[in-house]
Amino acid sequence: MAGRAAEPTVHPMTVTSTAPPPSPEVGPRALLRASGGPRYAVALAVDALGTGLLRPFLLLYGVTVLGLSASATGLAMTAGIVMGLLCVPAVGRWLDRGARSAVVAAAMLIRVLGVAVLVAAPPGQVWPFAAAALLLGIGNQSWPAAHAALVATLAHGRERDTALAAGRALRNAGLGAGALLAMVCLAGGTSALEALAGVTGAAYLVAAVLAWSVRVRADRPEPGADRSPGAVGQAVRPPRMRALLAANVVYVFCLNVPEIALPLVLLTQLHASPVWSAAVFVANTVLVVTLQVPVTVLMARYARRTALVIAGAVLTVSYVGFLVVTLLGEGGGHGPGRAAAGIAAVSVVCTLGEIVYAGSATALVTALAPSRALGRTLARFELSSGFGLAVSPAVITALAAHGPTALWGTLATATLLSASAVANEADPAAPKR
């Protein structure tokens, strides 16, 4: 980049209605511009590639390279996730001061520091690994709200929804490519894991530099406004969205169904080959990458809240389908192969529900948020998502231990109730009766 580009002045738009306009016609160039531009797109891809290299094997790194116990390693990783969630409100306040690309770059840089601590950790010492997991957790939990705020500042209306969907598709592609590359490299043993950690740190650093170079900020406070640290962002309160946030905790379980619930059911209840679990995970990734943007554009004919309710209905149907297929498979009427094929077929429906959910949930939150409280609103939403992702593995495994009816029946009921709560919640901008 030759010379320092002028810092763009962006005018956030206060959304007062979530009624859907006609389906947008967003060309590739307009979509790229709304998503942050070419450099930011490269930053997202590089960051996702680095995350895909290390994240699935962080536990393995602690156990094999550092010689830690599996319980200590898992506890340190969980603590890192929890502490990362506790930092999200501060990220929201920083965003409400106008920062955008700086917050994204900071989330990436703190993960560079986490990887550096991880590589330097001596074998047998759990505290350096815990410190690395903490830094990685802070970066991982801070990034989604920062990214959504940056896109919401550059794009508006349905173009913003499509840009958010494109970012998710790109990130999933990078995560999948990174995980696949890491699996190939694992044949090298512990030295390969150490090399993967180093490449991950370098990828985070490159991504942070690219994100910083975009230099996007929101509007500064108006002339004459109170600029004191305690006053910035305090005049406008974020919407409560209690039903939406509570429902999101349940909705987000769908993200862990392909990674946790389905492998558990296929291996322990249907006694199917592990190949089926891998096939379901790959199919989920491919569908998200290829369909996230088209489905989001297609759903633009509905209000965002209606689209989120539809996502809940689709997810509920898929959970019922998993229950039926599992019960038939356990009953002996079908062999493990046919039952596993049925699970794989229903997983396509579940993935479609996930795609509609991901394309409408964050878009709805950004549409409901006042421009001066966008950061704190997104922070609350990411807290609910992070909490759901944190507790879902324990909840899924506990329910699965009591049989398929307990697992899929509970998920279907909870998701249907959540969709109903979302449908009945009034938008903050709607007139009171």
Count other Cβ atoms within 10 Å, centred on residue 63: 16
pLDDT of residue 21: 47
pLDDT in tens, 69-93: 888 888 888 888 888 899 999 999 9
Kindly report whether the global pTM for this prediction surpasses the value 0.75.
Answer: yes
pLDDT in tens, 374-427: 999 999 999 999 999 989 988 999 999 999 999 999 999 999 999 999 999 877
pLDDT of residue 26: 57
Whole-number mean pLDDT of the chain? 85
State how far the alpha carbon of 414 is from the alpha carbons of 168, 204, 312, 406, in Å: 25, 37, 10, 12
Is residue 16 scored above 50 in pLDDT?
no
Give mean pLDDT, residues 303-332.
92
Is residue 226 scored above 70 in pLDDT?
no
Element (H, E) at 31: helix 28-34
State how far the alpha carbon of 376 is from the alpha carbons of 94, 311, 412, 429, in Å: 9, 25, 30, 17
With 0-12 / 13-18 / 19 or more C-beta atoms within 10 angstroms meaning exposed / middle / buried, residue 274 is exposed
Is residue 10 scored above 50 in pLDDT?
no
The CA-based angle 111-117-119, given to 5 degrees, is: 105
State how far the alpha carbon of 278 is from the alpha carbons of 126, 156, 267, 326, in Å: 31, 38, 11, 18
Token pair 């840009």: residue: 163
Interhelix angle 374-400/126-154, nearest 10 degrees: 130
Count other Cβ atoms within 10 Å, centred on residue 240: 12
Return d(Cα 324, Cα 334) in angstroms, integer: 12
48-57, 200-209, 312-321: least confidently modelled range: 48-57
Question: Using an 8 Å Cβ cutoff, are 106 and 162 in contact?
Answer: no
pLDDT of residue 35: 72
Long-range contacts of 58-63 (CB under 8 A, 24+ apart): 58/133, 58/136, 60/193, 61/118, 61/193, 61/197, 62/129
3-class DSSP assignment, residue 176:
helix
Element (H, E) at 201: helix 190-214
pLDDT of residue 222: 43
With 0-12 / 13-18 / 19 or more C-beta atoms within 10 angstroms meaning exposed / middle / buried, residue 37 is middle
Is residue 213 scored above 60 in pLDDT?
yes
pLDDT in tens, 107-158: 999 999 999 999 999 998 899 999 999 999 999 999 999 999 999 988 888 8
List, in sequence order, every residue forming a beta bridge with 89; answer none if it has no partner.
none
